[in-house]
Amino acid sequence: MPEQVLKILLDQNIPVAVAKWLRDSKPGWIIRHVNEVDLAGKPDERIFEWAQADGSIVITYDEDFADVRMFSLGRHHGVIRLRVWPTTIEKTIEALDRLFKQVPSHEFTDSLVVIDDNKIRIRKSRQQSH
């Protein structure tokens, strides 16, 4: 089964170098960094709105994007929240590489994915889990 083409928006707290690695790793995906789409320094709500209008999954270190009270499941295209430390290029790439090796990409869509140093958790909206 061919891999689904995903649109990804990397938040401002994700090192720009990760965008290059991601483009090399997933050449069929559409990868953008907030710096490339004039969203640098913009509030989370604006970044979220742009991602929803574009159909993008947000990859971020920002815990606000994982707050379902602010960005409820079932109302976004997906959020991948990194909780690894330190937030270096190497640790970011290592966490994303682990995610891509362990979880099929279709699982990222419309989900909240949280990656920490030890595990990956995926939450889907109640409508999806039935």
Mean pLDDT over each residue of the chain, to the nearest integer = 90
Express as a percent the part of the chain with pLDDT over 70: 93
- 31-83: pLDDT as tens digits: 999 999 999 999 999 999 999 999 999 999 999 888 777 777 777 899 999 99
> Do 6 and 108 form a contact (C-beta atoms < 8 A)?
yes
Global pTM reads: 0.91
Give residue 50's pLDDT: 96
CA distance 19 to 93: 10
Domain ranges of the chain: 7-124
Kindly report which listed range (19-28, 52-61, 95-104, 118-127) carries the lowest average pLDDT score.
118-127
Give residue 127's pLDDT: 55
CATH number (3.30.1340, 3.30.70, 3.10.20, 3.40.50) of 7-124 reads 3.40.50
